[in-house]
């Protein structure tokens, strides 16, 4: 994938012009905000792991702030205002996913980048008497907006040159949330999508393939879009539309003949790979014992001597014996269209019978050759 570089933003020039209008800032003035930079007052401080890595070879040490996934979309933890020189300012807190390493916080005010420092200096500066209050306030607002845009641009340039971490050079570190909300639901949505459109060639698959663009814009795939796109490309897996995914509860979408399945938990997507692909001999979908039902929290057990599979979820217990066409659901016998079996060393069970026996919803899409299993309240299924 090819990418074009864009020209420097006009606000960089504006920042330079502003500096010409300011007198020196006393060092003591900036000391008032010394707590910024060490994360002492960050609302997420109690849930993150902060550590510094020194790469050596003349490179500056980098501080990493790793956050558990459960807080990635938490405005309570990630939305903050900071008092600077007596005025309150909304911070810009970005969470990105760095490959398999997890989720990391980048806090504009805590990181104190070049343009953020320029904003601080302008706030504390002694101004030339010829500069009016209106001009001063405009300069301050421009510097604040410039610091935010610079932070976003750095992610889009250095860390996120291509939305799915391909073809841009450097690590794929996609933005997942901003101030505790999916970036698509913030004021930065148009800014980010415009940047992506401007920096990709018109022939790029992200722009020419409608489904890829829908994945990019769907918050359910934030941080996992790369894996989802690759599954679509390599395994020819279709994805559910937005109105087919759960907003509460859990959901699994599997495709016959494909090991990769898409899972959703409370509207957030991920990719799992099963030991064997689902199949449908004689029209009965058979799935491996592990990898699907356990995602919903079911307890699974296989007893070798009796060749019995037991699946337990809440108060419901389903028992199947290998090769037998009668199952037990809470002790009551029930006929099977196809019995559980062992194939190539893997135990396969009839999906619909077991899932519906546990109270899950199962639907079949013949066009896509897909089975969707849902667990959750009816209010959580759109």
Q: From CA 220, how far away is CA 267, in angstroms rounded?
A: 5
* Burial class for 164, CB neighbours closer than 10 Å (0-12, 13-18, 19+): buried
236-380 is classed CATH 3.30.457.10:
yes
> 169 φ, ψ to 5°?
80, 135
Residues 246-285 have pLDDT tens digits of: 667 889 999 999 998 989 988 788 888 999 999 999 999 9
Structure tokens at 207: 């722009």
Check residue 98 and give its pLDDT: 81
Check residue 215 and give its pLDDT: 87
Mean pLDDT of the chain, nearest integer: 83
Q: From CA 259, how far away is CA 7, in angstroms rounded?
A: 44
Check residue 177 and give its pLDDT: 95
268-273 and 308-313: which strand pairing? unpaired
CA 106 to chain centroid, in Å, comes to 15
Structure tokens at 243: 């109105």
Q: Which letter, b or e, does each residue of 236-245 get, where b requires 16 or more Cβ atoms within 10 Å of its Cβ? A: ebbbbeeebb
Check residue 191 and give its pLDDT: 93
The answer to whether the pTM exceeds 0.85 is no
Q: Which residues contact 327 (CB under 8 A, 6 or more apart)?
A: 318, 319, 320, 321, 333, 334, 335, 336, 353, 357
Q: What is the mean pLDDT of residues 96-104?
A: 83
Residue 314 CB neighbours (<10 A): 10
Instruction: Answer for the pair 9, 15: CB distance below 8 angstroms, yes or no.
Output: no
Q: From CA 196, how far away is CA 163, in angstroms rounded?
A: 8
First to last CA, the chain: 35
**Choice between 370 and 199, residue whose per-residue pLDDT is larger:** 370
Q: Which residues contact 305 (CB under 8 A, 6 or more apart)?
A: none
Structure tokens at 325: 């066409």
4 confidence band (pLDDT: 50, 70, 90): very low
Q: What is the mean pLDDT of residues 2-29?
A: 45
Give the gyration radius of the chain's Cα atoms.
Answer: 27
Q: Where are the alpha helices (DSSP H) in the chain?
A: 10-20, 27-30, 75-78, 108-111, 114-124, 133-154, 189-199, 205-208, 210-217, 225-234, 351-357
**Choice between 358 and 115, residue whose per-residue pLDDT is larger:** 358
Residues 362-382 have pLDDT tens digits of: 999 998 899 999 997 443 332
Check residue 153 and give its pLDDT: 87
Q: CATH 3.30.457.10: which residues of the chain?
A: 236-380
357 confidence band (pLDDT: 50, 70, 90): very high
């Amino acid at each position: 994938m090819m990418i074009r570089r864009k020209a420097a933003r006009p606000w960089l020039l504006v920042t330079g012009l502003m500096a010409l209008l300011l007198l020196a800032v006393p060092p003591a003035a900036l000391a008032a905000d010394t707590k910024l930079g060490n994360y002492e007052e960050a609302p997420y401080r109690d849930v993150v792991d902060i550590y510094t890595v020194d790469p050596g070879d003349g490179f500056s040490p980098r501080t990493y702030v790793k956050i558990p996934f459960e807080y990635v979309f938490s405005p309570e933890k990630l939305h903050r205002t900071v008092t600077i020189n007596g005025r309150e300012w909304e911070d810009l807190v970005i969470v990105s996913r760095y490959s398999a390493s997890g989720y990391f916080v980048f806090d504009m005010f805590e990181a104190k980048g070049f343009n953020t420092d320029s904003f601080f200096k302008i706030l504390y500066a002694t101004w030339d008497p010829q500069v009016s209050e209106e001009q001063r306030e405009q300069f301050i607002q421009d510097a604040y907006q410039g610091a935010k845009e610079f932070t976003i641009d750095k992610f889009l340039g250095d860390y996120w040159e291509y939305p799915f971490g391909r073809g841009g050079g450097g690590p794929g570190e996609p933005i997942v949330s901003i101030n505790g909300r999916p970036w698509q639901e913030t004021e930065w949505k148009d800014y980010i999508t415009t940047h992506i459109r401007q920096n990709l060639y018109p022939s790029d698959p992200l722009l020419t393939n409608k489904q890829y663009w829908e994945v990019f814009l769907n918050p359910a795939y934030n941080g996992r879009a790369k894996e989802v796109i690759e599954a679509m490309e390599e395994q020819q897996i279709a994805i559910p539309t937005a109105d087919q995914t759960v907003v509460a509860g859990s959901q699994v979408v599997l495709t016959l003949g494909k090991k990769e399945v898409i899972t959703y938990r409370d509207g957030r997507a991920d990719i799992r790979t099963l030991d064997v692909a689902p199949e449908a001999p004689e029209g009965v979908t058979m799935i491996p014992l592990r990898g699907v039902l356990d995602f919903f929290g079911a307890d699974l057990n296989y007893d070798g001597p009796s060749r019995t599979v037991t699946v337990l979820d809440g108060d419901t217990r389903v028992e199947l014996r290998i090769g037998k066409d009668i199952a037990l659901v809470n002790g009551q016998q029930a006929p099977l269209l196809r019995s559980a079996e062992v194939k190539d060393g893997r135990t396969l069970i009839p999906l619909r019978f077991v899932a519906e026996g546990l109270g899950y919803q199962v639907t079949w899409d013949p066009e896509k050759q897909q089975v969707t299993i849902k667990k959750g309240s009816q209010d959580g299924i759109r």
